[in-house]
Amino acid sequence: MEVDAVVVGSGPNGLVAANLLADAGWETLVIEATPKPGGAVRTEELTAPGFRNDVYSAFYPLGAASPVLAGLGLEEHGLRWRHAPAVLAHVLPDDRYVLQSRDLERTARSVAEFDERDADNLRAEHASWRRLREPLLDAIVRPFPPVRSGARLFKTLGTAESLRLARMLTLTARGLGKEKFDGAGARLLLAGNAMHTDLGPDQAGSGVFGWLLTMLGQDVGFPVPEGGAGRLTDALVNRLTAKGGEIVCGTPVTEVTLSGGRAVGVRDADGRTVRARRAVLADVPAPVLYRDLVGAEHLPARLVSDLDRFVWDDATIKVDWALSSPIPWSAAEVGQAGTVHIGADLDGLAGIANDLACGRVPHDPFLLLGQMTTADPTRSPAGTESAWAYTHVPRGESWPDSRLRRHADRMEEVIERHAPGFRDLIAGRAIAGPAQLQKGNHSLVEGSINAGTAAIQQQLFFRPVPGLGRADTPIDRLFLASASAHPGGAVHGAPGSNAARAALARDGWAGSVYRATVRAAHRAVYR
């Protein structure tokens, strides 16, 4: 079989890349190892009949705001966003809470309960966000370096504010919270949202992640696809097949085939080959692509050495529940939030992050919880709730079923403290530890959900290793299209879009110049 491009992996980045290549008229084949497309964007009935559970990811603020996904017009292919009455609640150990709503004044009232000055602080921060939103998001999702969008951002901010924005990128969530806000509530919004990555509140660079998610939550909310996360995948698949693209599932790729230093196709586990006339794009983690599919013998020695220092994000344990009624929170307003952070104040978050850094399983886990029927009533029968929670644990731990069950029980104890009677509502439960997550999605290596740490030393031109910060690899016509590439994790489609753009540029009228430039740059960084 021969096509213009082979895309390895059908996660959102792979599907975005395939769509953009199909838009350009390329004959495109997506090859997926598992039985269904979608990667970490899938929905199944895991807990009980009639309860639709998002197997991995669930809320998509960056997806709703992404210029990449917006450009695909997925609403024309069946995607519809739904919102909970409130965006997010962070519940403290003493049952106080801060609530974020898309209604700015409602959020302002909530943060003002901790310090009245923060109502105005939040309004001012939101006004600043609205001013730089468009050029900033464009700069984030476009290929590195983002010359045009970066210039727009600089024009919007000017020299002085651009310099201070650059400084903000390095701050911890705790430090940024102290600079922006006066009370614990608003500061917790930043720190709790930073914990959606693998960064604790005292790690450099955590502030910007917390700030970005907080501002997006205020702006577009934390929306979910109606009917389940899998509907986002369905929309990408529908669009691709309408453009003539093809997807083959249940076919693990074991090798990227090379000839003369160029990627020319792939070989699957049954020994079958597919030839790629123009490009191979890989929506798999960087270590998997380079070590397993290409092989160290075909790569610069320095890149191979750098891979030894590649840092994965923390492992994950996720529990899904079918509940006979909504969660009975002691603070009733928390029941309106789609996303709930539970288990720690700011110092508690720091302690949990320290436990993880030291290789210890936190005794009282910090939970990120989703109330899915609250956000989308189609997820379960009327009067019930489809819910989940996940927590991070150190990599390298052994999690036999008995230990997983005990940890799930501990997670339920955390919820029970703030919602007495929660356990009595459980009609079904499904537990996924690191091994189960990887079995269902081969890219979630040992339960790492972001294809590499979000820490500052593995961002921009340090992602996935020190280099160009681009999708181009040292192998001609082979492109990294996964979250291991800039700008990293979350469902926004940028790595896939950037890989498709690079493939099109390499094959374009100036392709020979493009190749020579990239080749010279790779020689400089890997010699």
pLDDT in tens, 41-85: 999 999 999 999 999 999 999 999 999 999 999 999 999 999 999
SS3 498: helix
Torsion sign over Cα 523, 524, 525, 527? positive
What's the pLDDT score for residue 145? Answer: 87
Following CA atoms 54, 133, 77, 251 in sequence, which dihedral angle do they give, to the nearest 10 degrees? -50
Place of tokens 């929170």: 329
Question: Which pair of tokens denotes residue 386?
Answer: 């489809």
Average pLDDT over residues 144-166: 92
Query: What is the C-alpha to C-alpha distance for residues 198 and 213, in angstroms, rounded to an integer?
Result: 14
Q: Which of 447, 474, 481 is nearest to 20 (CA)?
A: 481
Whether pLDDT at 445 is above 90: yes
Q: Is the pLDDT of residue 241 over 90?
A: yes
Let me know if domain 43-64+81-102+314-449 sits in CATH 3.30.519: yes
Q: Assess contact for 30 and 7: CB atoms under 8 A.
A: yes
Tell me the C-alpha distance between 197 and 192, whole Å: 10
What is the C-alpha separation between 244 and 25, in angstroms, rounded?
9
Read off the pLDDT of each residue in 156-170 and give the average, rounded to a whole number: 94
Stretch 430-459: mean pLDDT: 95
Q: Give the DSSP H/E element, type plus range, for residue 12.
A: helix 12-23
Written as six digits, the tokens of 322 are: 């079918």
Q: What confidence tier does 388 reach under pLDDT thresholds 50, 70, 90?
A: very high
Query: Please, which pLDDT band fits residue 527 given cuts at 50, 70 and 90?
Result: confident
pLDDT category, 187, cuts 50, 70, 90?
very high
HSE on the CB side for 310, CA within 13 Å? 25
Pair of tokens at residue 433? 């530890």
At CA 406, angle to CA 401 and CA 407, rounded to 5?
95
Residue matched to tokens 């309960």: 113
For residue 445 the two structure tokens come to 């290596």
Residue ranges, CATH 3.30.519, the chain: 43-64+81-102+314-449
Q: Which CATH number fits domain 2-35+249-311+450-526: 3.50.50.60, 1.10.3720.10, 1.10.4160.10, 3.40.50.880?
A: 3.50.50.60
CATH 3.50.50.60 segments of the chain:
2-35+249-311+450-526
Average pLDDT over residues 210-219: 97
pLDDT tens digits, one per residue of 471-501:
999 999 999 999 999 999 999 999 999 999 9
Mean pLDDT, residues 388-406: 96
Query: By the 8 A CB rule, do 267 and 257 touch?
Result: yes
Average pLDDT in the chain: 96
pLDDT of 415 above 90: yes
CA 496, CA 8: separation in Å to the nearest integer? 11
pLDDT of residue 139: 93
Q: Are 478 and 502 in contact (CB under 8 A)?
A: no
